[in-house]
Structure 1
Amino acid sequence: MGRIFEVRKGAMFARWDKMAKDFTRIGKEIAIAVKAGGPDPDNNPALRRCYLNAKACNMPKDRVEAAIKRAMGKDTSNYDEMVYEGYAPHGVAVLVETATDNATRTVANVRMHFTKGKGALGTSGSVAFTFTRMGEFKIKNTGQNLEELELELIDYGLEEIGEDAEGNIIVRAAFNEFGTMNKAIEDRKLELISAELTRIPNTTVELNEEQANEVLKMVDNLEQDDDVQKVYHNLK
């Protein structure tokens, strides 16, 4: 009984850690969106997207509003979005997106995670070609016909359409068609669960379990860093 409790407690703390990380990430996205386009989501598509993704992560509305108020303050941090590229062990390409108010600290931390993970931080452009940047939209499946929906969205930059493990509809669009696709989905009154920019690997690397765990440990350490927003890799 004690062992079961320990396992459950560990899982609970892991969920809390992930939630805290998601809230921090979205808080920075809100700050960047407000600085760039103002505090009104009706006139700021990026902020509207933050609201949507905050809801998907169960971030309380009062925390979202508090983040917007902080972003409007004169003393709030200005975050620079920076991307770092490199390789994890066994030749796996890794791309790290960050939002930071101290680039010197961030690059030092990212380099440390690569080094400790037996990887190597590379130069700009060293692995970016391995990924294609796309817009990814998660839509609630209420019985839509995927073939019909594909025909409706094909003229708005649709690249891929399918379902995830939970049965939600996943739509991917070309990076430069993100806004167009977002509007097309909103115009059709489809229920968006989340909308974000992502990077899809063009090729993948297959490893054995031990090697894969080495890579995933390094990726996890990067994801836990406060300055890191997202980590992409091409491990199969």
Structure 2
Amino acid sequence: MAGHSKFANIKHRKGAQDKKRSALFSKLSREITVAAKMGLPDPDMNPRLRLAVNTALKQSMPKDNIKKAIDKASASEGEDYEEIRYEGYGPNGVALIIEALSDNRNRTATSVRTILSKNGGNLGSSGAVAHSFDRLGLIEYKADGLSEEKVLEAAMEAGADDIQSDEETHSIWTEADQLHEVASALEKTLGEPETAKLAWRPHMETEVEGKDADQLVRLIEALEDDDDVQTVWGNYTFSDAELERLGQAD
């Protein structure tokens, strides 16, 4: 989804992930444990766990940490996390879907609501914005060394539904229940993807600029800093000029 990808690029340029690696590993560990508890503790037999482990490896998470997270699930240790989805709005009416893993629903709801209200947003009811998105599988490859034509051909052969390419990323979309199958087929042709995950793709995008863009970035950063929040999706997009400005901002 364009908005999420562009925000990830902003974070990369600002070095936010390097500064918050410990928090990132904590979120990845939580996802691995939940995935392992929901199925078999073997990534080869559990598509969700395989995606979680691959994501962790891409973020340079130590293999020992990954093993501990899987073992934690196998031993039925630790908290029982619940998957929760919040829907709301940001500056300029941007629609947001906030995915969380929490062991305390009341705590997480209060935190999400507070972050939204302090940063120009508000929490909506269940279903308030989800109807404006499609739940799909998203597989991403770095554009370096891979032409759009080669990726398009491989995606069509793998059974993907759509592909979007820009200077940095090839984004391949598929039906949610086909994500693992398509990702495995693409891996044989194009190599291991940068990411493969379930995503929310908006039907239409809202371009955000100026003060609204600054406030939106602060809002999403604050949400992603919350321990319980795993992913934030939105229907926002930035112009190239705005993206460059945001990437240079402190």
TM range (shorter): 0.7 to 0.9
SS for the counterpart of 2:127 is: coil
Higher relative contact order (CA 8 A, sep 6+): 2
Q: Per the alignment, do residues 139 and 235 of structure 1 end up closer, same or farther by CA in structure 2, a change over 3 Å counting?
A: closer
Aligned to 2:86: 84
CA contact (8 A) 1:117 1:218 kept: yes
Aligned to 1:215: 216
Aligned to 2:133: 131
Deviates more, 1:67-76 or 1:109-118: 67-76
SS for the counterpart of 2:206 is: coil
The code of the aligned residue for 1:220 comes to E
Alignment of 1:148-159 (within 5 A): 148-154=150-156, 156-159=158-161
Higher Cα radius of gyration = 1
Structure 1 residue ranges without an equivalent (≥5): 1-10
The code of the aligned residue for 2:172 comes to V
The code of the aligned residue for 2:20 comes to K
The code of the aligned residue for 1:18 comes to K
CA contact (8 A) 2:98 2:229 kept: yes
Deviates more, 1:191-200 or 1:107-116: 191-200
Aligned to 2:242: none
Q: Per the alignment, do residues 13 and 142 of structure 1 end up closer, same or farther by CA in structure 2, a change over 3 Å counting?
A: closer
Is the aligned partner of 1:49 residue 2:51?
Answer: yes
Aligned match for 2:38, one of 24, 36, 39: 36
Which whole-Å deviations, capped at 9, do the CAs of 1:115-156 have from their partners, x for residues lacking one? 112321111110112222221112366855543543443264
The code of the aligned residue for 2:56 comes to A
Matches of 2:154 and 2:28, distance apart in 1: 31
Q: Per the alignment, do residues 71 and 112 of structure 1 end up closer, same or farther by CA in structure 2, a change over 3 Å counting?
A: same
Matches of 1:135 and 1:229, distance apart in 2: 17
TM-score by length of 2: 0.80
Tell me the percent identity. 34
CA contact (8 A) 1:89 1:215 kept: yes
Q: Per the alignment, do residues 155 and 69 of structure 1 end up closer, same or farther by CA in structure 2, a change over 3 Å counting?
A: same
CA contact (8 A) 1:139 1:190 kept: no
Q: Per the alignment, do residues 123 and 204 of structure 1 end up closer, same or farther by CA in structure 2, a change over 3 Å counting?
A: same
Aligned match for 2:23, one of 18, 21, 39: 21
The alignment's C-alpha RMSD in Å is 2.4
In the alignment of these two chains, the number of paired residues is 225
TM-score by length of 1: 0.84
Structure 2 residue ranges without an equivalent (≥5): 1-12, 238-250
Matches of 1:169 and 1:133, distance apart in 2: 19
